[in-house]
Amino acid sequence: MTHTDIADRRPLIRTEGLRKVYTTDEVETTALNNVTLDIKTGEFIAIMGPSGCGKSTLLNILGLLDQPSGGSFVFDGTDVSGFNERRRADLRRGTLGFVFQSFNLIDELTVYENVELPLLYLSLSSAERKERTEAALDRVGMAHRRDHFPQQLSGGQQQRVAIARAVVASPQLILADEPTGNLDSSNGDEVMKLLSELNEAGATIVMVTHSPADAEFAHRVINLFDGQVVSEHFMEKEYALPHQSGE
């Protein structure tokens, strides 16, 4: 894959001059400062940088969990920077999938129920929910643990369930916040392989990571420092961009 290949893809995310300022008790902290990004469908992006550089803030804004203080943010052709919480929630539903460092599975729900949850909010029929949930569990190899509760699983298993939950609604974008941060290296590797399989199957992925090894799986690495993009580069490795439906 080359730089020019990517330029041909349909843009999914475009930000310009994105700013995020936190104001607490007379102290203003600028978390993001003039961030301009261009992410195409099917890309696998790794965002790197030291602690406190604004990685997570950026990911939260891209994931519509947080609102920018300034700048524009166009998601799939729509400017969403002014969206209120209600509209952002509507957009998140079915469009975005999240994977977190601490898995964030709901302890009171079984593996199956955790994965099914996004579909419940999409008000799908129970037959369709069943089919898609089972498919997602198969895909991450957790079908045999469907009736277990999160506490009964290892960290790696929990993260696989979280990934199944992130993809079950076939979102346009998967956001992963240090997905291997709580895992040992072999479990971490497995999770990364799973993510790149998903990417190969068509998912756009934006991942925040500290780990250079994990970043190896991405097409493009964006480096943040003090809330600004300081550099970005394409990985040496050749990747075949997945086939895109609808084009």
Partner 1 sequence: MLKNYFKVAVRNLRRWKGYASINVFGLATGLACFVLIALFVRDELSYDRYHENADRIYRMVEIIEGAEESASNPLPVGAAVAETYDQFVESTVRFFNLQAPTLAISYEPDDGPARAFNEPGFFFADSSVFQVFDFAFAQGDPATALDRPNTVVLTESAAQRYFGDTDPIGKTLLFEDQHPLEVTGVLEDVRPNSHFTFDFLASWSTLRSSVFAQNTGLLDFNWYWNPAWTYVLLREGVDPASLEAQFPDFIEQNWPDAIKAQSSLYLQPLTDIHLHSRLDFEIRPNSDDLYVYIFSVIAIFVLLTACINFMNLSTARSMSRAKEVGMRKAIGAQKSQLVGQFLSESVLLSVLSLLVAIPIVWLLLPVLNAMADKAITLNPFVVPWLWPTLIVVALGVGTLSGLYPAFVLSRHEPARVLKGSGRTGTGGGASEGLRRMLVVAQFGISIALIAGTFVAASQLDYLRSARLGFDTEQVVMVPILRTPAGQQYDAIKNELLSHRGIQSVTIAEDVLGSKYQTNTYQPEGYTETVQFPRMLVHDDFAQTMGIEMVAGNDYQQGRNPGPVVIINESMVQHLGWESPEDAIGRSMGPAGQNGELQRRVIGVTEDFHFASLHQPVAPFVLDRMFPGQVGFFGRYLAVRITPDDVPGTLANIESTWQTFLPDRPFEYLFVDQELDALYRAEENLSRVAGAFSILAILIACLGVFALAAYAAERRKKEIGVRKVLGASVPHLVALLSKDFVRLVLVAFLVAAPLTYFAAQRWLGAFAYQVPVGPVPFVIAGSLALGIALATVSFHAIRAATADPTSTLRAE
3-state secondary structure of 4: helix
102, 154, 185, 244: which one binds partner 1 (CB under 8 A): 102
Which of 139, 144, 150 lies closest to 111 in space, CA to CA? 150
Binding mask 125-164 for partner 1 (x = CB under 8 A): ----------------------------------------
- How far is Cα 238 from Cα 215, in angstroms, rounded to an integer? 14
- How far is Cα 154 from Cα 183, in angstroms, rounded to an integer? 9
Count of residues that bind partner 1 according to CB under 8 A: 36
- How far is Cα 165 from Cα 34, in angstroms, rounded to an integer? 33
Burial of 151 (0-12, 13-18, 19+ CB in 10 A): exposed
CB of 107 to partner 1, least distance (A): 7
Footprint of partner 1 on 177-216 (CB under 8 A): 177
- How far is Cα 246 from Cα 142, in angstroms, rounded to an integer? 31
Which of 68, 42, 41 lies closest to 54 in space, CA to CA? 68
Q: Which stretch binds partner 1 (CB under 8 A): 75-83, 120-128, 190-198, 228-236?
A: 120-128
Residue 78 engages partner 1 in binding (rule: CB under 8 A): no
75, 98, 112, 239: which one binds partner 1 (CB under 8 A): 98
CB of 66 to partner 1, least distance (A): 4
Residue 22 engages partner 1 in binding (rule: CB under 8 A): no
CB of 108 to partner 1, least distance (A): 4
**Contact of 160 with 142, CB cutoff 8 Å:** yes
Cβ proximity to partner 1, 114 vs 196, nearer residue: 114
3-state secondary structure of 164: helix
Q: How many CB atoms lie within 10 A of CB 185?
A: 10
Binding mask 33-72 for partner 1 (x = CB under 8 A): -----------------------x---x--x-xx------
Q: Note the residues at the interface with partner 1 (CB under 8 A).
A: 56, 60, 63, 65-66, 85-86, 89-98, 100-102, 104-109, 113, 117-118, 120-123, 165, 169, 177
